[in-house]
Structure 1
Amino acid sequence: MTPPKQKATKQTKLKILHRRRTNIFGSAHFIKSFDDDFDSTKLAQVPIRIQRLDALWREFEETQEEIELLEDGEEDFAEERQEFQALYYELKTSLQSKIPVQPPVPPPAPVQPISSAIPISSSVRLPEIKLKEFSGNLDDWVSFRDLYVSLIHTSIQLTAVQKMHYLRATLSGEAARIISSLEISANNYLVAWKLLKERFENPNLLVKRHVSALLMISSMKKESAQGLADLADEFDRHVQLLDKLEDYENHWNAFLVER
Structure 2
Amino acid sequence: MNLQLYRINQLRQNLEKAALAIEDDRSSYHYKTLLEALQKQCDKVEEGHFSICEEENILEHSYFQDEVFENLKTDYDSIIEQLYEKLQQHQPVHKASVKIPKIVIPILTGSYESWSSFYDLFLKIIHEDNSLTDTEKMQYLKTHVKDDAAKLIRHLTVCESNYATAWTLLKKRYENERMIITKHIDNILNIQKVKCGIIGKHTVVAPSNEHVRKTINTAEVGSACDAKQRIGAARRSDWLRDDATHATHANFAT
Give the TM-score range, shorter chain: 0.3 to 0.5
TM-score (norm 1): 0.46
Q: Which has the larger radius of gyration?
A: 2
Q: Which of the pair has the greater relative contact order for Cα pairs under 8 Å at 6+ separation? A: 1
